[in-house]
Structure 1
């Protein structure tokens, strides 16, 4: 398994699991509260899921179309921008989950109740569509950022990684449902958010490396140290760790400054939310 494979599979697994969680909350609420109208509610729920997937697919087509418009250095600039955007969006998503995720279940059920009480099935449709489209759109941008951050793209490997991520998400979701009392969702969100922050750091560092390589940004120094004797970031293990954390064996001053500022900013933005942390769902 390559580092790229691990990045793609992790993103698909995490985002798909979160989307499955949203759908399961709405589906479970309908089963217990919709009564005779449960069949109608489920129809609009799954129609919303399909629309959300379609919206994410449309975004993917738009991004690929934009990428095809650029050639040479412009393509490099676009890919650097997308990798940087993906990093910032991952950071924003983690912050949002810390601040809003704990009330996600209650908010979804409250919105579903409004739709059911008012007979507004389009409201339920929109709720499902927007939730799935949000997760799907994030996945599209994250994956493009990952693919754009590398020098080569192996389609077969990428497709296999996506399929693996989906399979892991379905299996993991089932296991968590079975062991829900012993394994709260807060653990899932807490652990995966740490890995997501590392992935965002990796994308940010890769975008910075490419910008330095193109002469857009100065490295500010020669490499300040060399730990390749301990862990080479071009080796099998080292490249995987680099892909998931942004580790560099021979960093210059600019990457060190950016990497340090990223983690300082992430810690500062997440700290207030941790004081009152609670389970996002159960």
Structure 2
């Protein structure tokens, strides 16, 4: 529930930000009423494309059962983790010029294609955010059982409500939170969640590898835990469960889990440093 709420909240705020920028740009154009209809048509088509992707992924998950389904879900979870990190890197490089770039592209599309260019721009922007949301949600919910999926869905609805409230708050007042602070906090949470999804994918892959005929040393690396801190902080409830959902904490991690998570944060640190230099 916490993961789905955060994912929908973060991605919806970004989508609403893009739509708000385009709305403000349209209000300054001569044929603003007609362009507004093209804008909302593009938004609707973008949502339909995202819904189509969600349906396709759910169909593939139900069709591929057994080991094939496990490998598919592990692969999509890895994809979600990588997309989260790349999105943070992209925002570090382009956040300062996002509004200027979007308005410039809207001017160019309007000059070349008229209202259809605005529709296409809105379609691409919304479908991109929606597709990311679908992949992130699938990766986060892949390991859930049917009894927990209802709470996962409720978290998504709450995330959408929180996104609307956040945009209203950010536009009306900066005394409590600014856009800069919002993006800094949400990006930190995205990176933590990316690590959690990576660990979840490693758990799935490890489970499949343990069912294969491997050398003894491979079983030790993949299956045996390096330590067990359950007595201090269990990962099944309370704070430990929250850290497991958002940071990939495991009370009894295997060696491969520790190495993968360490490599992830080294990659993230290097990527953030390079993206700041590029910006």
One of 7, 10, 14 as aligned partner of 1:14: 10
In the TM superposition, what whole-angstrom CA distance separates every residue of 1:28-83 from its partner, at most 9, and x where no partner exists? Answer: 1111x213x11011111111100110110011111112112211121111111111
Instruction: Quote how far apart the aligned CAs of 1:105 are.
Output: 0.5
CA contact (8 A) 1:218 1:254 kept: no
Whether 1:61 and 2:55 are equivalent positions in the alignment is yes
User: What is the rounded CA distance, in whole Å, between the counterparts of 1:90 and 1:248 in structure 2?
Assistant: 21
One of 158, 166, 172 as aligned partner of 1:164: 158
Whether 1:273 and 2:268 are equivalent positions in the alignment is no
Instruction: Quote how far apart the aligned CAs of 1:182 are.
Output: 6.6
Q: 1:241 to 1:118 in 2, by over 3 A?
A: same
Whether 1:253 and 2:255 are equivalent positions in the alignment is yes
CA contact (8 A) 1:241 1:247 kept: yes
User: What is the rounded CA distance, in whole Å, between the counterparts of 1:12 and 1:71 in structure 2?
Assistant: 27
Instruction: Quote how far apart the aligned CAs of 1:226 are.
Output: 2.2
One of 3, 11, 26 as aligned partner of 1:30: 26
Q: 1:94 to 1:45 in 2, by over 3 A?
A: same
3-state SS, counterpart of residue 221 of structure 2: coil
One of 235, 238, 256 as aligned partner of 1:236: 238
User: What is the rounded CA distance, in whole Å, between the counterparts of 1:77 and 1:119 in structure 2?
Assistant: 43
In the TM superposition, what whole-angstrom CA distance separates every residue of 1:221-248 from its partner, at most 9, and x where no partner exists? Answer: 7322222222111122211111000111
Q: Gapped runs of 5+ residues in structure 1?
A: 278-282
Whether 1:215 and 2:209 are equivalent positions in the alignment is yes
User: What is the rounded CA distance, in whole Å, between the counterparts of 1:34 and 1:81 in structure 2?
Assistant: 45
One of 93, 97, 100 as aligned partner of 2:94: 100
3-state SS, counterpart of residue 60 of structure 1: helix
In the TM superposition, what whole-angstrom CA distance separates every residue of 1:149-206 from its partner, at most 9, and x where no partner exists? Answer: 3355534212211110000000011001011477431221111111001111101101
In the TM superposition, what whole-angstrom CA distance separates every residue of 1:86-135 from its partner, at most 9, and x where no partner exists? Answer: 11111111111111222111011111222344561111111111000000
User: What is the rounded CA distance, in whole Å, between the counterparts of 1:52 and 1:167 in structure 2?
Assistant: 20
Cross-structure match for 1:73: 67
Q: Gapped runs of 5+ residues in structure 2?
A: 211-217
User: What is the rounded CA distance, in whole Å, between the counterparts of 1:104 and 1:219 in structure 2?
Assistant: 48
3-state SS, counterpart of residue 102 of structure 1: helix
